[in-house]
């Protein structure tokens, strides 16, 4: 039906030369250097920026005009951050040990009474002891953090307040 139409894309094979009106001429000047194969730029096309600075002037830095001071944390605040980080680490350990204990509990009911089951029960007991010890350490760290917050921010401070929900009867 459309066989008599000559479509443009039938002649295009993906080359840039297909889009040119005439063939490349060897007499045309090349835009690239023969030795480095880089594009040559004439001196007229280079942007010239006039230097209006005094070369003998002392360089002035902007930072010398503006001072931004960051508040340095006190040793107590630094200690508070360290305690909070330690508490978070302990919480992560307790969580991981809890996952291990839960995994052991899923394995143990499927097994018959054997030496392997005794070993798993012993390992589970050790993990529970370790978790209890870590929870005790976490509790003591929480007490230390609370006391330090009271010391830093005061008993009426915003970070050491206790919130009690009012109960009406």
Left, alpha or beta for 16 (phi > 0: left; psi -120 to 50: alpha)? alpha
Query: What integer is the mean pLDDT of 121-133?
Result: 94
Angle CA(112)–CA(115)–CA(118) in degrees, nearest 5?
85
Q: What local confidence, expressed as pLDDT, does residue 76 receive? A: 87
In this predicted model, what pLDDT tens digit does every residue of 44-97 receive, in sequence order? 556 666 666 666 666 555 555 556 677 777 888 899 999 999 999 999 999 999
Place of tokens 């350490």: 137
Written as six digits, the tokens of 142 are 């929480």
Lowest mean pLDDT among 1-15, 101-115, 130-144: 1-15
Q: What local confidence, expressed as pLDDT, does residue 160 receive? A: 45
Quickly state the pLDDT bin for 124 (edges 50, 70, 90): very high
Q: What local confidence, expressed as pLDDT, does residue 152 receive? A: 84
Assign 129 to helix, strand or coil.
helix
Domain boundaries, the chain: 75-153
User: Which has the higher per-residue pLDDT, 43 or 110?
Assistant: 110
Measured distance between the N- and C-terminal CA atoms of the chain, rounded to whole angstroms: 92
């Amino acid at each position: 039906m459309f066989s008599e139409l000559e479509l443009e894309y039938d002649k295009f094979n993906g080359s840039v030369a297909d889009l040119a009106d005439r063939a490349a001429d060897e007499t045309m000047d090349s835009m690239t250097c023969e030795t480095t194969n880089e594009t040559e730029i004439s001196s007229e096309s280079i942007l010239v920026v006039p230097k209006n600075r005094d070369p003998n002037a002392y360089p002035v830095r902007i930072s010398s005009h503006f001072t931004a001071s960051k508040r340095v944390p006190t040793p107590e605040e630094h200690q508070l951050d360290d305690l909070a980080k330690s508490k978070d680490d302990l919480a992560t350990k307790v969580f991981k040990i809890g996952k291990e204990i839960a995994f052991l509990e899923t394995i143990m009911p499927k097994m018959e009474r054997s030496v392997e089951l005794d070993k798993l029960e012993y390992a589970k007991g050790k993990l529970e002891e370790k978790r209890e010890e870590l929870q005790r350490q976490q509790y003591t760290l929480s007490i230390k953090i609370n006391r330090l917050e009271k010391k830093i921010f005061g008993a009426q401070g915003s970070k050491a307040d206790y919130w009690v929900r009012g109960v009406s009867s």
